[in-house]
A and B are shown apart, each in its own frame.
Chain A
């Protein structure tokens, strides 16, 4: 048993309003510089949609993540495109690497023209100019080009997660009366079995032992770009100016001092939760060697109960501090993922064991106008699951590797909580109906109350349980920093200039 702590995350999608504030908070701090203009360490996608970069979920194109190889007795995980020998050929040209066309060409506007243009008959305009070449350019795409289903015939209809839907279901999905969408904010998953780390030829990518943050050592990175195609979430970006790759750092400088990462802090809908999960590192890769539909359950077997004395002992033996164990016990993530089991990983079929979990969106309340009065469309007040506008199959493709039972379980529980609260507060729900829903959702009033409190009215301390890293215990005090800093140094030690 090799117990490690992971600073993990839960995004409650029911609360996301798709405002992109998180993306801007991140961009302003980390990626507002030459070579990084196109990077969105945090971005918000509209689903159904093709995302950023376009069609990133299509692994037949980008070949990211792991795949299960071998027979039943000897199963092993293998990188889908960056095997050892194979990746040497790909140093020179990587057919799976997304190009600028798959993201977008970053641009600004020639604002000066508004003031400096010669006097003329026409109003001067600020034409877009490329941030790479400085030339005037035609804007063809942007970071959220398919936002709110814009261009849906081109983008949303080609969402790869719709593959298993029948033609009829697809048509229904995009019917103007029923059309529906959800938002999917994404940052790096800081996976426990990261394929990017495994693929890095230079060994520049590493996972921190204490908090599980995945980082790229900029001094060691040689720009071979294997991680970019190996990451199935396309959350590693190539800086075209410095010739090195960059990714979300979970604002570790803030985390280390007990502060909240930018995208979490700025979240308007307060959808984000941050907390520690204890997991067994020996089980991390092992748990990913099961068939697709069993992956969500299998991943949970790798997580450990922070109240179990044996686990606490093993964690302490492994150098995990008391602060981390305490944070793990208070962790909102542990509650969502392990206790209530209503937060699910995104695309776990990539087998990287992502440590960012999503509470799937419950179907929106359907309203209608009748005689000038707005009323609920449904007889049961809340939509029934079988009439859901976002089909279960679609959500299952996103959050449970196609296992609809898991989605149904989560939905029913979420529904039960709603019925429970409605009946308590408004008393307009039949008790028999409420109890039936509670039974179906497999929850108790106490649990429902708890879910409600953490979902709807949590304080900031409940949403973000961050253990401070004890700087006085860091390696510099016990180990020769000259030896250690080269191997576990943190990111950039020099100005990010391009080599000559």
Chain B
């Protein structure tokens, strides 16, 4: 329950809030959308805080994103021992760098009166959360080291399962507490982006790299009359580009998954000749065995009666297994009245074959999940996982000549035409006609 809440509900909530909140804030509250730099008020501490923190966290974030978006590539990287060690060393180093920066930033924020003039409670919460998150990350590098390698089998599939709307917690639910806390903190981080200064994450001015140095805006329509249509077209194109970029990225993410499957289908691991032969042989053997079984089945179906045992062979304490017309196991006992007692051996719980030894209370045991069935009534014991009773089967007793000496139909009605002596030499059969009725 807690797991579901923290690892399924929280992520979706966080991402939803982040996307909607960020779009709303950047569109409707542009005045509040700023990096909120405090370098102007305090300069020295900022250098030692902000530079290490931002350098470290940017590289760490990029590595996290890479590991998530290109899991295959990342796994290839981390399979190389030297690279893996480098990644681990760099990751730990950068997290230490981040921690140093954050601690300096925190101290600065808590001690400088000027900075306190521009500090909100949310700022303090952000710093606390980031401190916790980076400390957890660094601790993971020590206590569950090589996370860059094991993430490909644990957190990456988890994140992809979330992305594909088939949440699967199985890969992460057994992770150590420290790793799970790291994940929860990450979702919290995403959750508070639109409600804190963290929104500046989206303000990274990448377009600066590509724009011309000067920026001239005309408010006058005379200049714009002809240019306006071009501007609108440009704007439409910009919107189109943005949409295309978004869709493209989504498609990219999806295709990575799909292509992975396709790639494996065509170029994935192949069976060797030997393995293929073995596999075919196993299949053949399986087919052959089913042929026999099928033959037997047909043969049985052809005969009107199937012999279970001679009445004299049956006893009260240990049943004799046989197969009925439906090819299901059943057990034959001798009842207290000296007549046969035929009971299905297929457990009504999950279909295991029930044991044939009768205990002191006249019960037989299904060993799979410990259900005791009373052979007289077929009823399971109260605590048993099986709830329905085992069914009894009908039977007939015939002598050598094939004349019916006694029979019991499905309703449990017994017809007995001869004495016990004659019956003792008879053989117990199950009849096709009776079976067909079921």
Contacts and interface: CB of A to CB of B under 8 A. Distances in A.
Direct A–B contact in complex, judged by CB atoms less than 8 Å apart: yes
A91 B35 contact: yes
Given A203-B211, A221-B34, A473-B221, A99 B228 contact: no
Contact of B35 (A97, A243, A469, A470): A243
B263 interface: no
Contacts of A318: 223
Nearest to A35: B118
Interface centre among B29, B40, B51, B195 (most CB of A within 10 A): B40
Interface stretch (A18-26, A401-409, A476-484): A476-484
A289 interface: no
B94 interface: no
B197 A500 contact: yes
A382 interface: no
B30 interface: yes
Contacts of B220: 209-210, 319, 321, 469-470, 473-475
B326 interface: no
Interface string A189-208: 00001100110111101111
A100 B228 CA distance: 43
A475 B224 CA distance: 7
B228 A243 contact: no
A209 B222 CA distance: 11
A224 B217 contact: no
A132 B122 CA distance: 20
A121 B40 CA distance: 42
A496 B34 CA distance: 12
A492 interface: yes
A493 B205 contact: no
A223 B37 contact: yes
Interface string A447-480: 0000000000000000000000110011101111
B31 interface: yes
Contacts of A281: 216
A97 B39 contact: yes
Interface string B109-120: 000011011101
B208 A87 contact: yes
B116 A133 contact: yes
Contacts, number: 193
Given A478-B224, A494-B30, A222 B200 contact: yes
Contacts of B34: 221-223, 242-244, 499
Q: Which of B36, B47, B213 has the most chain A CB within a 10 Å cutoff?
A: B213
B31 A319 contact: no
A99 B39 CA distance: 7
Interface in B200-223: 200, 203, 205, 207-209, 211, 213-223
B36 A243 contact: yes
A93 B34 CA distance: 15
Interface string A35-54: 00000000000000000000
A66 B273 CA distance: 72
Nearest to B222: A319
A225 interface: yes
Contacts of A492: 31
A84 interface: yes
Contacts of B54: 91-92
Given A219-B31, A222-B35, A100 B219 contact: no
B221 A477 contact: yes
Contacts of A497: 31-32
Contacts of A500: 32, 120, 122, 195-197
A80 to B, nearest CB: 13
Contacts of A242: 31, 34
A218 B32 CA distance: 10
Contact of B205 (A133, A198, A222, A473): A222
B368 interface: no
Given A93-B46, A319-B220, A206 B39 contact: no
A59 interface: no
B144 interface: no
B197 A499 contact: yes
Interface residues of A, number: 72
Residue from the set A99, A203, A475, A487 with the largest chain B CB neighbour count within 10 Å: A475
Contact of A499 (B55, B199, B205, B207): B199
Contacts of A202: 203, 205, 208
A419 interface: no
A93 B45 CA distance: 10
A475 B47 contact: no
B384 interface: no
Contacts of A209: 216-220, 223
B231 interface: yes
A174 interface: no
B216 A498 contact: no
Contacts of B223: 209-210, 318-320
Interface string B27-62: 001111111111111110011001101110000000
A499 B36 contact: yes
B278 interface: no
A495 interface: yes
B225 interface: yes
Contacts of A224: 35, 37, 205
A252 to B, nearest CB: 10
Nearest to B218: A209
A210 B219 contact: yes
Contact of B232 (A84, A99, A479): A479
Contacts of B207: 203
Interface string B88-112: 0000000000000000000000000
A385 interface: no
Contacts of A494: 29-31
A461 B210 CA distance: 45
A500 B196 CA distance: 5
B288 interface: no
Interface in A248-285: 281, 285
B313 interface: no
Nearest to B208: A201
B35 A495 contact: no
B219 A208 contact: yes
A206 to B, nearest CB: 4
B235 interface: yes
Interface string A69-102: 0000000000000001101000111110101110
A493 B32 CA distance: 11
A240 interface: yes
B217 A207 contact: yes
A208 B30 CA distance: 21
B35 A475 contact: no
A208 B305 CA distance: 104
A479 B221 contact: yes
A474 B215 contact: no
Interface in B113-166: 113-114, 116-118, 120, 122
B36 A480 contact: no
Nearest to B200: A222
Given A198-B214, A474-B221, A479-B224, A133 B35 contact: no
Interface of A: 84-85, 87, 91-95, 97, 99-101, 132-135, 193-194, 197-198, 200-203, 205-210, 218-225, 238, 240-244, 281, 285, 318-321, 469-470, 473-475, 477-480, 483-484, 487-488, 492-500
Interface of B: 29-43, 46-47, 50-51, 53-55, 113-114, 116-118, 120, 122, 195-197, 199-200, 203, 205, 207-209, 211, 213-225, 228, 231-232, 235
22 contacts: A92-B51, A93-B39, A133-B116, A134-B117, A135-B113, A193-B214, A197-B213, A201-B208, A203-B205, A206-B217, A207-B216, A223-B34, A225-B39, A319-B224, A320-B222, A475-B218, A488-B217, A498-B118, A499-B33, A499-B197, A500-B195, A500-B197
Given A224-B205, A475-B224, 6 more contacts: A87-B208, A202-B203, A203-B205, A318-B223, A320-B222, A475-B221
Q: In the A-B complex, list the 9 residue pairs whose CB atoms are closest, starting with the nearest.
A: A319-B223, A201-B205, A209-B218, A499-B32, A198-B213, A219-B30, A243-B34, A488-B217, A243-B36
